Amino acid sequence: MNIAEQLLEIGGFGLAHRREIEMELAYAQRASVHNHRGAIRWALHFPWLKRRLCDRQDHRCCWCGKPMAAAAPRDDRPTFDHVVPLSRGGADEPANLVIACHACNNRRGDADVPP
């Protein structure tokens, strides 16, 4: 499944949105060349993605299981985390993204194992 198909599935969008998703994805990929990590800024280009992944995880951190909320103290806020870190060859695509609390994401860094 390609990245656009992953986004359509996670977003619950029909095929009518495919062109829109593909266009935004192409823009996001071009923009990622210019940022410091070379990664897509998912929250910027697909602001609904974090909400959908949070819903899938029952608004709990994938690593510690603690409840998360956008308005919570910083350590309890949801962040995107790559299951297999980019620095270890992980793909920058939705299939490799989970939502982790800021504390776990920060503690984990680029390790291949949970914090």
Q: What is the CATH number of the domain that holds 72?
A: 1.10.30
Joined together, the tokens standing for residue 20 give 């829109």
CA 65 to chain centre: 17
Indicate the number of domains in the chain. Answer: 1
In-domain check, residue 69: yes
CA 37/CA 87 separation, integer angstroms: 9
Domain span holding position 87: 3-108
For residue 113, is it within any domain? no
Residues listed for the chain = 115
Residues 10-53 pLDDT 10s:
999 999 999 999 999 999 999 888 776 789 999 999 999 999 99
Which pLDDT belongs to residue 35?
73
- Do the beta carbons of residue 43 and residue 80 sit within 8 Å? yes
Q: Is residue 33 part of a domain?
A: yes
Residue position matching structure tokens 């280009």:
45
Note if the pTM is more than 0.75.
Answer: yes
Question: What pLDDT, in 10s, does the model give residues 57-91?
Answer: 999 999 999 999 999 999 999 999 999 999 899 99
Indicate whether 115 belongs to any domain: no
